[in-house]
Amino acid sequence: MIKTLPSRRRRSSSDPERPTTEAGESKGSAMDLNEIKRLIQLVQKSGIGELEVTEGGRTIRISASPVVAPAGPAQYVYSAPPGYAQPAAASAPSAPAAAAPAAAEPVKADAHLVPVVSPMVGTFYRSPAPDADPYVETNSAVEIGQTVCIIEAMKLMNEIECETRGRIARILVENGQPVEYGQTLFLVDPN
């Protein structure tokens, strides 16, 4: 085992002999604990974000972030992807009774439509290139296996094919919009 000892400094005649620490450092050459405590109190009282002091070849940085009390308990709102019905218990505060029957009618009208869902998380593109025509438009006829869009995931372009024959009733996602796994992209009318 090799043990390294601190190098001895040559003291000049003008440098009076100072007491040293166990590591061989001079006690008076760098900041002591009382000086550091004083600097911490200065940062706390003044409200500054950060203080850096270099003395005797040593640097000390004291940073304080202001403590911000939360305004209240955090509220989280979770929503289902478009095209999925939310359970009544998880929905936001209930709407007036007159609006409830009106909202139920579109669900019944769309009940026969078949969703085309995203098989992955990524970015939705309607066309193969920015200057190209979209694969499908609203009311376009689609066949089984026909490419309807592209989803970019991890720099790979994945063609999404339709699994139903019919016509595109609705396009639910905007070009360039991020999509989630299982999110409805299109509604296809099989009739």
**Domain edges within the chain:** 33-63, 112-189
Per the prediction, the chain carries an average pLDDT of 74
Please say whether the beta carbons of 143 and 156 come within 8 A.
no
CATH class of 112-189: mainly beta
pLDDT band at 117 (very low <50, low <70, confident <90, very high): very high
Q: What number is the average pLDDT over the span 63-70?
A: 57
**pLDDT tens digits for 163-187?**
999 999 999 999 999 999 999 999 9
Quote the pTM value: 0.44
What is the C-alpha to C-alpha distance for residues 164 and 115, in angstroms, rounded to an integer?
9
Average pLDDT over residues 127-149: 93
Q: Between 106 and 109, whose confidence is greater? A: 109
What is the residue-wise DSSP string for 82-145?
A: TT-PPPGGGSSSPPPTTHHHHHHHHHHHTTTPEEEE-SSSEEEESSSSTTSPPS--TT-EE-TT
Burial class of residue 81 in the structure, from the number of CB atoms within 10 Å of its CB (0-12 exposed, 13-18 middle, 19+ buried): middle
pLDDT band at 48 (very low <50, low <70, confident <90, very high): confident
pLDDT-based confidence at 30, cuts 50/70/90?
A: low
